[in-house]
């Protein structure tokens, strides 16, 4: 059974710098897949590369990148444009600037449908109203004629989500959709996404740095570090038995009631994310890893730790080992 | 928005009054006007007659307020040398200057906007650099010199356009081209930078994510935002063009307001000089107000609240 | 920000290092020619010789070796006049920039630093200045008071300070709120000290760029004034005046107007290249 979105060994470079050095992940139909990592690890770039939205100067290559069986790498710009907004949609982190200030909300939403499905403007506006209601926007008819600057951040993000759903896409790529929003609004948006997934059978690739979000909404997780996907697992398995030292470090940084004691320092990962120069080989985490040895400077094996759970490390799986206190 | 207009009008009025004062002082620079009018061969008695006749014996402040008072209702007095009221003179010449200005601006926009878009879309390629070079060279060429060159090439060698005077629409082509030339570099650069900034914005990334066609992204989404400052600057450029038309009108012998200014300076016709300065300034003020209104109309963010 | 203030802060150009180098070379060559040219060229730019009128330059038929660029309608050596004219253009450009710079920078810094009423007055002055038709007024001044180098410089200097003021004001506003200025306040520095020691050095790079652009503008304006007969008085060979004098013969001897025109364009281009190159070099991007 092939996944909805399959990426194998994606590489993205900007000029001489490698932003993504080998990302592989699968998004199954109907699942919420979180791509998690800290700033600069390349997760947003991965999403942009999938959508072919890289900024000028960005080059991508991969062993395989396919969406619902179609090879994305060989598609022309025009063919890709027909898929974007249509079968694959993306929403971004900054709702305040992601909508065109010069056009009404209604016209910006309607043009997606008219473009891809040839719908009339009237039909498109009707669907826009319906979708805005679906995503919890009050008085949607009034919103049609409003301009983005008249809406709050949370409302704008809902508009973005509704706009992304205009053509009933199979996959929604969400790049940190709640990072720029208030905590309460965050929760609402996440709940909304979960509902939509359920009701529409939508598959979601959710980019985030927040493990809390991962715990809440993800079915499966891919952890990214310094341009590589270092661990992939179902959510429960990841939290219960993280294998890669980076993942374990990440999870130990999260203060959990019961695990954190008053006299012990909070968890942290020593060191900083290294800058990877061309020709780098081996594990990017080795400078910060307590278990590193000489073999970490060479090719790292991909190990399996359970059903659909793999990771990139020389260490053998340590099942159900509790995290350091 | 009404408040904006009222406030700008008030400031504009103040500016106009200041310009009136400056214009008045300007013509009094050469000292005794009566002597200039009476001419070099006049006797002392002649000068005194002239002084009385033109009201130049009154105190300066009285002369000033008299002029201001009349100017506010459109009475700029009588020209010393043309047998006509100054207001009439200006009114007769104004259509020519306005036509020239509009022709120049239209040509400038027709060239600048596509050129700016092209340079922005092909940023940092040879096309962009060529456009940049062209605007730099364009800014360096003196307009009166270009006028002469065009006269030689288009007027003499090719013989397709008349080189001076007014009368037919052809008389406005060469002057219009030269006038456009003065505005094209700035407008092109503005369009280019506006487009580059727009194309790099988040909402364009969203437009691409929606799968819209490239043409639609450039010409609808990006241009619509990039054009806002261009349109308002174009209005101001028109103001500059009208104010600076004196050189071009003189070279091409187009009898517009600028040429009138030139003639009246040569003939020491002070009321006309004062009035022309004031009228051109008033037009500029009006155009900047128009620019602000256009800005507010085109940018939804400025319209509400 | 109202429209007239926006106009003066025009967008920056991407002039590569090559452009900057070319600009410096052009201005350098012309400056050297202006300084030493007439000492090296034997012909006198003012000596008339009616028997040798309108001899064409060396690339045309009928030219004479002792007059490389030919002679004008009064038999004066063209090359000598051209070189002298460079001196006039550069002199006027520099003097005007100094004058207008002093006025504009003072106004701009005061307005930007103190804000409030003072700033209102400065903005009003700028708006008023922008409304004035510059060429017309300059012509009127010269027409009423007589031509002369000093008068032209004074007039242009009193008219061309607007961009200095706008840029000085905007940059002062930006710099005023920065930490090191506040640190100086806290250390008890006096206002003049802050203005001169903290503000000015940090806006200087922006102003240098404006200075080059204004210099180019001043040179073009003076040429226009002289072309119309109300600028630098004859027999001084201002390039604009040379074009005006050649106008009557331009249909037969086009080179009479071509040469000074090209000289003007090249000089102005060079100055603009230097200005934009400076802008990139000093990292002074478009003001927001």
A115 contacts on B by Cβ (under 8 Å):
210-213, 216
Q: Any CB–CB contact under 8 A between B228 and chain C?
A: no
* CATH no. of A3-76+172-312: 3.40.50.300
Structural domain contains residue C78: yes
Considering only A62-76, B211-225, C72-86, C181-195, which range has the smallest mean pLDDT? C181-195
Residue B41, C-beta contacts closer than 8 angstroms, at least 6 positions apart: none
Chain-chain contact of C135 with B135 (C-beta, under 8 angstroms): no
The model carries a pTM of 0.84
* Tokens representing residue A96 in the block: 């305040």
User: In the predicted model, is pLDDT for residue C52 greater than 80?
Assistant: no
Structural domain contains residue C3: no
Confidence of residue C284 (pLDDT cuts 50, 70, 90): low
Chain-chain contact of C251 with B149 (C-beta, under 8 angstroms): no
Q: Any CB–CB contact under 8 A between B22 and chain C?
A: yes
| Chains in contact with A, where contact requires at least 3 CB pairs less than 8 Å apart | B
CA distance C189 to C171: 20
- Among B288, B291, B298, most C C-beta atoms within 10 A, so best to mutate, is B288
Contact A285, A272 (CB under 8 A): no
Q: How far is CA B81 from CA A54, B96, B289, in A?
A: 70, 21, 35
B245-252 helix and B143-150 helix, angle to the nearest 10 degrees: 30
Residue A7, C-beta contacts closer than 8 angstroms, at least 6 positions apart: A23, A24, A25, A26, A46, A50, A62, A64, A65
* Tokens representing residue A230 in the block: 């270092």
| Residue position matching structure tokens 């209104």 | B293
Structural domain contains residue C65: no
B276 contacts on C by Cβ (under 8 Å):
133, 136
DSSP lists the bridge partners of residue B78 as B85
Q: Any CB–CB contact under 8 A between A156 and chain B?
A: no
Q: Kindly state the DSSP code that residue C77 receives in the 8-state scheme.
A: B
Query: What is the chain B residue with the closest CA to C228?
Result: B247
Q: Any CB–CB contact under 8 A between B271 and chain C?
A: no
CA distance B238 to B174: 17
Q: Any CB–CB contact under 8 A between B197 and chain A?
A: no
* Chain B closest-CA separation from residue A164 CA (Å): 7
* Tokens representing residue A198 in the block: 């359920």
User: In the predicted model, is pLDDT for residue C166 greater than 90?
Assistant: yes
Largest CA distance in chain B: 86
Length of chain C in terms of residues written: 288
Number of H helices, E strands in chain C: 12, 0
Cα dihedral sign, C93-C95-C98-C103: negative
Structural domain contains residue C211: yes
What burial class does residue C143 get, using C-beta atoms within 10 Å of its C-beta: 0-12 exposed, 13-18 middle, 19+ buried? buried
Domain ranges of chain A: 3-76+172-312, 98-168
Instruction: State pLDDT tens for residues C135-145.
Output: 999 998 888 88
Chain-chain contact of B221 with A100 (C-beta, under 8 angstroms): yes
User: In the predicted model, is pLDDT for residue C42 greater than 80?
Assistant: no
CA distance A163 to B197: 24
C11 contacts on B by Cβ (under 8 Å):
189-190, 192-194
**Tens-of-pLDDT digits for all 305 residues of chain B?**
678 788 888 888 899 889 988 888 888 776 677 777 777 777 888 888 877 877 777 887 888 888 888 888 878 887 877 878 888 889 999 999 999 999 999 999 999 999 999 999 998 889 999 999 999 999 999 999 999 998 888 877 776 676 676 677 778 888 999 999 999 999 999 999 999 999 999 999 999 999 999 999 999 999 999 988 898 889 888 988 888 889 999 988 888 999 999 998 888 888 888 899 999 999 999 998 888 888 888 888 877 64
* Chain A closest-CA separation from residue B180 CA (Å): 29
Chain-chain contact of A112 with B206 (C-beta, under 8 angstroms): no
Helix (H) or strand (E) holding A217: helix A211-217
Q: Do chains A and C touch (3 or more CB pairs under 8 A)?
A: no
Q: Which domain holds residue C119?
A: 15-41+70-248+267-286
Phi, psi of C214 (to 5 degrees): -70, -35
Structural domain contains residue C59: no
Q: Is C141 left (phi over 0), alpha (psi -120 to 50) or beta?
A: alpha
Phi, psi of A207 (to 5 degrees): -90, 130
Q: Kindly state the DSSP code that residue C71 receives in the 8-state scheme.
A: B
Q: Which of A174, A175, A165 is nearest to A200 (CA)?
A: A165
Q: What CATH number corresponds to the domain at position C275? A: 1.10.3720.10
ipTM of the complex: 0.87
Structural domain contains residue C26: yes
DSSP lists the bridge partners of residue A214 as none
C268 contacts on B by Cβ (under 8 Å):
139-140, 142
Look at chain C and report how many structural domains it folds into: 1
Write out residues 65-104 of A within 8 Å (CB-CB) of B: 77-78, 81-86, 89-90, 92, 94, 97-103
Query: What is the chain A residue with the closest CA to B297?
Result: A102
Structural domain contains residue C108: yes
Of A101, A116, A150, the CB nearest to B225: A101
Structural domain contains residue C49: no
User: In the predicted model, is pLDDT for residue A313 greater than 90?
Assistant: no
């Amino acid at each position: 059974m092939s996944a909805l979105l399959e990426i194998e060994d994606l590489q993205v470079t900007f000029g001489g710098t490698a932003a993504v050095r080998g990302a592989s992940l699968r998004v199954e139909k109907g699942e919420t897949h979180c791509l998690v990592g800290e700033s600069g690890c390349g997760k947003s770039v991965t999403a942009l590369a999938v959508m072919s939205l890289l900024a000028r100067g960005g080059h991508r290559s991969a062993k395989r990148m396919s969406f619902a069986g179609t090879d994305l790498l060989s598609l022309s710009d025009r063919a890709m444009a027909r898929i974007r907004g249509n079968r694959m949609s993306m929403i971004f982190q900054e709702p305040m600037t992601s909508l065109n200030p010069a056009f009404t909300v209604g016209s910006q939403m309607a043009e997606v449908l008219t473009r891809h499905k040839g719908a009339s403007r009237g039909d498109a506006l009707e669907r826009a109203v319906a979708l805005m209601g679906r995503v919890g926007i009050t008085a949607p008819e009034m919103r049609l004629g409003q301009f983005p600057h008249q809406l709050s951040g949370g409302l704008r993000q809902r508009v973005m989500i509704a706009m992304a759903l205009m053509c009933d896409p199979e996959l929604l790529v969400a790049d940190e959709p709640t990072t720029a929003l208030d905590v309460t609004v965050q929760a609402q948006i996440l709940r909304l996404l979960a509902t939509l997934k359920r009701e529409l059978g939508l598959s979601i690739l959710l980019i985030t740095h927040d493990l809390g979000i991962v715990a809440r909404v993800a079915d499966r997780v891919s952890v990214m570090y310094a341009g590589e996907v270092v661990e992939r697992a179902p959510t429960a398995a990841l939290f219960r038995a993280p294998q890669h030292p980076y993942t374990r470090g990440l999870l130990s940084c999260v203060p959990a009631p019961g695990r954190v004691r008053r006299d012990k320092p909070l968890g942290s990962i020593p060191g900083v994310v290294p800058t990877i120069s061309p020709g780098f080989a081996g594990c990017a985490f080795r400078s910060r890893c307590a278990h590193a040895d000489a073999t970490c400077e060479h090719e790292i094996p991909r190990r399996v730790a359970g059903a659909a759970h793999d990771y990139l490390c020389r260490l053998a799986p340590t099942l159900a080992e509790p995290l350091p206190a | 928005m009404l408040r904006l207009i009222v406030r700008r009008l008030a400031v504009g009025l103040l500016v106009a009054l200041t310009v009136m004062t400056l214009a008045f002082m300007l013509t009094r620079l050469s000292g005794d006007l009566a002597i200039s009018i009476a001419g070099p061969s006049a006797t002392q008695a002649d000068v005194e007659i002239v002084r009385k006749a033109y009201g130049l014996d009154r105190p300066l402040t009285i002369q000033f307020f008299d002029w201001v008072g009349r100017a506010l209702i459109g009475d700029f007095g009588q020209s010393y040398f043309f047998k006509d009221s100054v207001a009439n003179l200006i009114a007769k010449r104004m259509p020519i200057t306005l036509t020239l200005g509009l022709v120049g601006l239209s040509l400038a926009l027709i060239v600048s906007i596509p050129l700016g878009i092209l340079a922005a879309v092909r940023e940092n390629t040879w096309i962009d650099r060529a456009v940049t070079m062209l605007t730099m060279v364009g800014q360096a060429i003196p307009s009166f010199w270009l006028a002469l060159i065009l006269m030689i090439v288009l007027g003499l060698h090719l013989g397709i356009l008349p080189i001076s005077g007014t009368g037919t629409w052809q008389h406005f082509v060469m002057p219009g081209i030269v006038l456009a030339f003065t505005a094209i570099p700035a407008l092109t650069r503005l369009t280019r930078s506006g487009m580059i900034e727009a194309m790099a914005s988040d909402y364009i990334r969203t437009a691409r994510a929606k799968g819209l066609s490239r043409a639609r992204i450039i010409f609808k989404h990006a241009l619509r935002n990039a054009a806002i400052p261009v349109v308002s600057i174009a209005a101001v450029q028109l103001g500059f063009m009208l104010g600076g038309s004196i050189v071009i009108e003189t070279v091409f012998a187009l009898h517009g307001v600028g040429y009138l200014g030139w003639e009246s300076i040569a003939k020491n016709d002070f009321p006309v000089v004062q009035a022309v300065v004031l009228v051109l300034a008033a037009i500029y003020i009006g155009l900047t107000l128009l620019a602000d209104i256009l800005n507010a109309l085109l940018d939804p963010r400025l319209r509400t609240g | 920000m109202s429209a007239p203030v926006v106009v003066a802060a025009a967008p920056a150009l991407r002039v590569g290092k090559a452009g900057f180098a070319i600009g410096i070379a052009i201005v350098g060559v012309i400056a050297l020619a202006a300084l030493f040219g007439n000492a090296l060229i034997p012909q006198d730019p003012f000596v008339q010789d009616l028997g040798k009128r309108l001899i064409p330059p060396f690339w045309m038929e009928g030219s004479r070796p002792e007059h490389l660029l030919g002679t004008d309608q009064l038999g004066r050596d063209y090359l000598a006049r051209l070189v002298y004219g460079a001196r006039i253009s550069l002199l006027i450009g520099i003097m005007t920039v100094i004058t207008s710079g002093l006025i504009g920078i003072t106004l701009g810094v005061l307005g930007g630093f103190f804000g409030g009423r003072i700033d209102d007055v400065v903005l009003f002055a700028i708006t008023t200045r922008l409304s004035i038709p510059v060429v017309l007024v300059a012509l009127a001044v010269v027409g009423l008071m007589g031509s002369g180098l000093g008068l032209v410089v004074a007039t242009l200097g009193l008219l061309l300070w607007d961009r200095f003021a706008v840029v000085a004001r905007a940059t002062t506003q930006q710099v005023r709120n920065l930490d090191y200025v506040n640190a100086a306040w806290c250390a008890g520095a006096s206002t003049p000290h802050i203005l001169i020691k903290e503000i000015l050095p940090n806006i200087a790079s922006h102003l240098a760029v404006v200075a080059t652009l204004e210099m180019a503008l001043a040179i073009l304006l003076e040429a226009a004034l002289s072309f119309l007969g109300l600028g630098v008085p004859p027999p001084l060979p201002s390039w604009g005046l040379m074009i005006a004098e050649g106008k009557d013969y331009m249909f037969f001897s086009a080179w009479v107007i071509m040469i000074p025109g090209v000289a003007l364009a090249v000089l102005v281009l060079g100055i603009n290249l230097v200005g934009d190159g400076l802008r990139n070099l000093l990292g002074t991007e478009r003001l927001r």
